[in-house]
Amino acid sequence: MLGTFSFKCSNGHYHDEFVHRDVESRDCPHCGEQATKVIRYAPKLDYLGMGAQKHAGPEFADRFDKMHRDRKAYEEKNYENHGDYGPAAGS
């Protein structure tokens, strides 16, 4: 499977490359040293998408419900204060 991965060399240079996921090292384009694969960005979970799935686990379903309850409360407060539901009503 191909993807964009980050690599860091011993001189502290970072670069990203589109490579197969099994690739563990590349030559640094800045200095030519061996660069190893690193995780630079923490993955972000899509709780809304996972909570909407048919077989969602309870933690994702709870998060999904909480997000919708919070949004409904926000829209109701906007309606009380301003006479409309705010941007993207019904989300």
Q: What is the per-residue pLDDT for 11? A: 95
Q: Answer for the pair 13, 31: CB distance below 8 angstroms, yes or no.
A: yes
- CA distances (Å), 89 to each of 56, 69, 71, 72, 80, in order? 25, 13, 9, 9, 14
Provide the percentage of residues in the chain whose pLDDT is more than 90.
Answer: 35
Rounded CA gap, 74 and 31, in Å?
53
The pLDDT of residue 57 is 74
| Residue 89 confidence (pLDDT) above 70 | no
The per-residue pLDDT for range 5-28, each reduced to its tens digit, is 999 999 999 999 999 989 999 999
Q: Say how far residue 76 (Cα) sits from the centre of its chain.
A: 29
Q: What is the mean pLDDT of the chain?
A: 82
Percent of the chain with pLDDT over 70: 77
